[in-house]
Structure 1
Amino acid sequence: MDHSEFPTIDRGVRALWAPVLLEPIAGSYERLVVGVVAVNSDGFHLELANVLSRLNCLYGESAAAAVTAVQIAGKCLQHDLAQRSRDAILQPESAVSGVVIGECREAEGFSLEQMASSWMAALSSLYDATLGQDALVLAPEPDLMVASEASSISDRLPFLVCDYVRSQREGYSRFFSRDLQEGRARRKKGASHQVVIDFAGPKLVANFGTLRAGSLTSSIHLIKRRLWDLKVERDRETQEAFKRSHEMILHRPSMDDPQVTDQQQANISEALQALEMQADQEDLRLLTLNSVPAIGERLLRYDEAA
């Protein structure tokens, strides 16, 4: 037997690899592996799930938003890997809420592609090793605006706040948008130009947003859009006697959250300072709280304090 036929360490490549995870429900433990990335000093390879159609069995009509989010996240991760190499998975900056990078590990394989595809075959029920990536290559070019909408759908904070207020005071949930009252997506396709207001009470108008440690960039983008919506809504109130306060209320992880690193906390604080400056420029109030009940009580008690 010719020993050269056997693989050796010299013929392999060493690399960092990490799973790409879909979190369909924000704050839940539910996760699905939708990709694996392998990267070293010589390059990278991202292997994405190629049978995302299986999500239809789990999520029905909502599966389209999840598929779009995965495709957008994959496209952005490819760009980030090309720019930052290993840092793209060691210090990830998720472009889409609900799609995050998992724990990094070191491994060896024949090639980066072989390493990534092997781990995908072993870890993901949304991947078929016999199909390759043809389905993804033929998929339509993702729309960044659609990705933004997919991110907003995955933010459960407005729905949780509405549910809390409903449980505390009968009839008060009528001040939330109809979409939140009915528990359906805030946005509909083709309606991205519409102003979105989550809560419009007698004395207070408010939008809600979540500062996500694992997808801070997309969180900031959505919060800025909600701030703009608040500004537009405020400017519509021309009669001084009937003007209400307008607040952007954010949920941020507590400083002792074990799932948030010191660096992520620093990034959140820096982003928050920038958002506060923007809110001040528009004469809007930006408020941060760390629980759904705290946000709900803010709404319930505002009229009493005003």
Structure 2
Amino acid sequence: MIAEAPEPNAHWRPVFWEPVAGTGERLMVGVLVQWNDQFTAHRFIRDDVLDCLYGKAAKGARTLIDTALQNLRDIAAGGALYVDTMPALYGVHPGQLRHTHAESLAEVLRTAALLYSSLTNLDKLDELEEVDAPSQEEGNRRFTTEVRDRVIAARPQLTQYFGRTAPLIDGGELTRFGFVSPRVILHFGVLSAVRQPTGLRDARARLWELFRARELSGINLAALIFGTPSAEDPTLSPRQIDAMRRNLDEIEREADSYEMRFFAVASVQAGADRVLELA
């Protein structure tokens, strides 16, 4: 006896972006989903991919894609998800409506990533040459700048504490830190899915700098805030997720050995919230 296939309980559309209008060259950048009576939008194309493709212009591309996805989500929630063709916004085009049965939203997202995503899915980014991927320093700089902007927007009086310096040895050269206030010393960085060994080395170096600066400054609280992909990101392969968990655990244990704090955050806003909490 053949079991019947379960009824679809999720409806979704892939979302494509055509950076240069009229060329027909599209990137799969996200998905619109209706699951469990909720309409959601999810960006699939990762920050490290946009950094690699657009360099300093990546922030503008992220803003455009995120804005388009949220506006399309609102349009979809109004009933447009189910029409033959949804409208495009800012060069961002919803694709064909698809149906599937899923046990969770994460399962819907992973199905979409497997079926449609090229630049964003699974092990593809592992194949990037080291020289092609955005450098560790570029990623750190972008994350630090965006966290700083969010913090200053919330509490302008904290501006003076960003980018301050402190010595690591008596009479030595000053080292620049992400944030130094009378209460806390902070470093910022990123652990990219495609440059994990580099990110791990960078975290270790920054922990040592925090340890030395804390000893000399007399400031008791020191912490490392690292931007990381979410473990629920459907564009990450199981191999990348396993490596990420191992590396984050190692960084946290090393921070504990210095009696310092380590915070892995999956968004700029989460990083800014940590600064506001610690400042």
| Structure with max Cα Rg | 1
Instruction: Give the structure-2-normalised TM-score.
Output: 0.50
Instruction: Give the structure-1-normalised TM-score.
Output: 0.46
